Amino acid sequence: MRVIIVEDSRVVRELLTAIVDRDPRLQVAGAFTSAEEALEALPALQPDIISMDIRLPGMSGLDATRRIMAERPVPIVVIADSAADPAGLSMNALRAGALSVVEKPVGLNAGTYEEIAGEICTQLAIMSEVRVIRQRAWRQDPPRVAKARPAEGTNFFTAPSAVGIAASTGGPPALARVLGALPADFPAPIFLVQHMGASFMEGFATWLDGLVSLKVAIAKDGVTAQGGTVYVAPGHAHLTVEPGLVIKLDDGPPIDGQKPSATALFRSLAQSVGPRGLGVLLTGMGEDGARGLVDLHRMRGFTIAEDETTSVVYGMPGAAARLGGVSASLPLDAIAGRILATTRTAE
């Protein structure tokens, strides 16, 4: 896979080049100090994937991502320093079409160097195979749904007391659209799992909180969940829900290769609220969440999977559909309306 590296720091650029060159799946096609240079070279180099820094001299990595996704779509992985991104630029790059964000390497002697290097190569190799499409003009605000009517043919005997939502590749912009269409007084608490590096989770929650009407915060162990709030799984533990809507952070091993795991969340909802649980599985690579959604579906909870027509990657929702754990497969912009419809108790 041909990789273009865009990074203005010479030290980091050389580190990234060395990291990519040692992986037999990858080949450095070019390394550039500015977005302008990279954009000019794109037609000739025809890369399979771009490693993009966000803070660049001249055109920012965010603006470059928007332009690439609007004019000549190429899979993009953002390489960022989570501590130096208080404005959530990397999250906005994901919303503009980048596929994932990975921690920037800081030096060969850093204790986390090998772990970060392995994650960078894994993300570049995997994301290079994702088919990206031209993005429409980037919007500052997600669309909102003023009212929602129950879908024809649906009949809910109990309104959900808890909602679980999970996503991976392509998740942040999808979550912004779904949650942005829900009102601030949404009656049930929402529990959220997004696969992302642990160091980015605080910034992700802050970014999402600034976009939607609901309150968004990192989940804390032992807290009783309240309606109108989105509780985001931290990057170091599984987010589970106990009876009484008490949050439990579980430091157990990864499930389906993920920690936090969507399957752990959905299974806990199946056990704690059963038919009053609602699960939503959005775009993402792999199969995390699928088996948990099946468990919730078997307990007569209502389960939604994003349809293939709008998923950036149909892996997670597709696996749930194949296993028979989905009550409804819906395109992204129809999901919030269905969630709202389920909060209306049937007469």
pLDDT per residue over 158-175, tens digit each? 578 999 999 999 899 999
Q: Outline where the chain has alpha helix (H).
A: 10-21, 35-45, 61-71, 89-95, 113-127, 171-180, 201-209, 262-272, 290-298, 315-322, 332-342
**Is the bond leading into 331 cis (omega within 30 degrees of zero)?**
no
- Selecting among 85, 288, 295, 307, the annotated active-site residue is 288
pLDDT in tens, 203-227: 899 999 999 999 999 999 999 999 9
- Cα–Cα distance for residue pair 216/233, rounded to 1 Å: 11
Cross-strand bridge partners of residue 102: 79
238 is known as an active-site residue: no
Catalytic residue (choose from 85, 195, 307, 327): 195
Residue 110 is predicted with a pLDDT of 67
Q: In the annotation, is 288 catalytic?
A: yes
The whole-angstrom separation of Cα 245 and Cα 223 is 8
Point out the catalytic residue in the list 60, 82, 161, 168: 168
Contacts of 100 (CB under 8 A, 6+ apart): 77, 78, 94, 123, 127, 169, 196
Question: What is the structure's pLDDT at 143?
Answer: 43
Residue-level pLDDT at 147? 36
| Domain spans, the chain | 2-127, 162-342
Q: What angle do CA 342, 344, 347 make, to 5 degrees?
A: 120
Domains 2-127 and 162-342 share a fold: yes
Give the integer Cα–Cα distance in Å for 331 and 310.
6
Instruction: Spell out the alpha helix ranges (H) of 46-112.
Output: 61-71, 89-95
How does pLDDT run along the chain (347 residues), one tens digit per residue?
999 999 999 999 999 999 999 999 999 999 999 999 999 999 999 999 999 999 999 999 999 999 999 999 999 999 998 777 755 788 899 989 899 999 998 777 766 889 899 999 999 998 998 887 765 544 444 444 333 333 433 444 457 899 999 999 989 999 999 999 999 999 999 999 999 988 899 989 999 999 999 999 999 999 999 999 999 999 999 999 999 999 999 999 999 889 999 999 999 999 999 999 999 999 998 999 999 999 999 999 999 999 999 998 999 999 999 999 999 999 999 999 999 998 864 33
CB 339 within 8 A of CB 182: yes
Q: Does domain 2-127 have CATH number 3.40.50.2300?
A: yes
pTM above 0.95, yes or no: no
**What angle (nearest 5°) sits at the alpha carbon of residue 218, between those of residues 229 and 251?**
125
pLDDT digits (tens, 9 = 90+) for 88-143: 788 899 989 899 999 998 777 766 889 899 999 999 998 998 887 765 544 444 44
Give me the CATH topology for the region 162-342.
Answer: Rossmann fold (3.40.50)
